[in-house]
Amino acid sequence: MNMKENSFEDTEKQELYDLTLRAKEAAKTLATLSSSQKNDVLAAMAKKLKTNQAQILEANKKDIEYAKENDLSDAMVDRLLLDEERVDGMVSALHNVMNLADPVGEMSQSSLRPNGIRVAKMRIPLGVVLMIYEARPNVAVEAAALTLKSGNVVILRGGKEAWHSNNAIIDCWHQAIEACGFSKEMVCIVPSQSHSAVNHLLQFRDTIDLVIPRGGERLIQAVTDNSKIPVIQHFKGVCHLYVDKFADLDKAEKLLKDGKVSRPGVCNSLESLVIHKDIADEFLKRVNALGNEFGIQFKADKNSASKLDNAEVASDEDYHNEYLSLAMSVKQVDSYEAAIEHIQNHSSSHTEVIVTKDIDRGNEFVKRINSSVVMVNASSRFSDGGELGLGAEIGISTSKLHAYGPMGLVQLTTEKYVVTGQGQAKHY
C-alpha cells in the first residue's frame, strides 16, 4: 500500500500521521547529505542557540514555574533547569558532534568470494527516529544533533513540564536548517502534549523506524508495551559501587562521593553501595561521615544501618530503587561471590563499578557483570557518551538489541550489504 493512501477518522491521528509522512520524505534527502552539509547545519544551530539564548532561558523559566507549582521533585527540576552554563554545554555538544567522524557510507568487511563477486558492508541511517523523553530540554539539542549527523530524521516528543523550553529550542533548529537550504522536517516536534498523541505515533510502523524513550520506568514500560515499532529501552540506572576487601579506601571514598554527591539526579549516579565485610567497619566510618556532611539518607542491611546515623533497615525493594536524590542503599556482603550475586540480582544493566587493587578480581568482575558499562576503579559518572568519546549521546541503552550502553553516531546507523560483480550469474 502506498503510505499516502492511509487515512484516519481521528483528526489528531491524521495530523500526526501526516507529520510522520513529511518526516519520512525529509529522511530521503537527509540520507544523501554530505558530512560538510550536515556540519553546516550543526554550526548554524550552535550560533542560533547563543543568538536566541535570552528567549530560551525565558521559556525555561515558565517550565520551572510549572514544575514548582506542581510539586515536581528536586531531581526533576534539576534536569529541567537551563542557565547560561547549560546552554554553553549544548553549544559545546554540537561542536563535539561536528568533530566526530561521520559513520554514514563507511565500508567494512570487504571480501572477495570464490566466484569473483566482492561483498562488503556499508553503514546507513536508520530512517525516522521517534524520541520520547521527560524533562531535560538539552535532549532536544543533543538527540537531534546525533540523529542529524547520522542521517536520521528525529521526531521529538518531550514532556509537558519542558514544553516551552523544547519549543524554543526546536524553533532554533528550524531556523538553522532552513538557513542552510533544507527542510525543517529534518527535526520535528510533536505538536500535542496529549497521551493519545504518543499512542497514535507508536502505531505508525510504516513511517517510523525506531522509538527511543528516555525517562522514568513507567514511561519506558508503557512505550515498550504499546509500540508496534522497535523500541530501544533506556531503563533506570541502579548503579552499584562494590568496595572489595582489596580496595584502596581513599579511592573508594572519592568514587562514592563523586558518584553520589556530584549530581544525584542523573542516571549514572550511584544508587547502591556494596561493601565486603572485611573492610566494612573501617569504610562505614567514612560513609557515615560523608552522609552527615551531605545529608545522604541510607537504606542499609541491619548490621550496616547500626553504624550509620542517617539510616533505616532496607527491604529487598529498596535495593532495586533508583533514588535520583541524596539517598542510596547499602549492602554488606560476606564474600566476593556474594557481591557478584547481589549486583546480578539487583542490576538494571546500566553501570557497575568495582574498587580493588587485585587485578584478577577486577578482570573477573568485568567478565561476570554484564551491564552495559562495567568499570574498575573509575567513577560511575564517566558512564556518559561524551566521557566515553561519543561526543554526545542519545541515551544509554539497557537493551542488548540493537545497541547496548551509551548510544552515539554509530549506534544510530545500521548496515547493508553491497555486492559488486562483473556480470556473474548464479545459474546462467
CA–CA dist 75, 64 (Å, integer): 12
C-alpha span between 398 and 406 (Å, rounded):
9
Q: What is the pTM of this model?
A: 0.87
* pLDDT mean by block of 10 residues, the chain; 428 residues: 64 96 98 98 98 98 95 87 96 93 97 97 98 90 96 96 97 98 97 94 98 89 95 91 98 98 93 98 98 98 97 97 95 98 96 98 97 97 89 84 90 97 92
Domains and CATH numbers, the chain: 13-233+406-418 (3.40.605.10), 239-382 (3.40.309.10)
**Residue 5 has what pLDDT?**
54
Cα–Cα distance, 83 to 63 (Å, whole number)? 13
Residue appearing with cell numbers 529498596: 318
What does the pLDDT read at residue 401? Answer: 84
So what's the pLDDT on residue 402?
86
Per-residue pLDDT at 216: 80
Query: Taking Cα atoms as reference points, which of 405, 397, 392, 387 lies closest to residue 150?
Result: 392
The reported pLDDT for the residue numbered 393 is 81
Pairing type for strands 107-112 and 118-125 reads antiparallel
Dig out the grid coordinates for 364 from the structure: 573477573
Task: Give residue 322's pLDDT.
Answer: 95
User: How do strand 327-333 and strand 270-276 relate by DSSP bridges?
Assistant: parallel
> What span, in angstroms and rounded, lies between the C-alpha atoms of 306 and 288?
11
Longest Cα–Cα distance in the chain: 82
Contact 422, 116 (CB under 8 A): yes
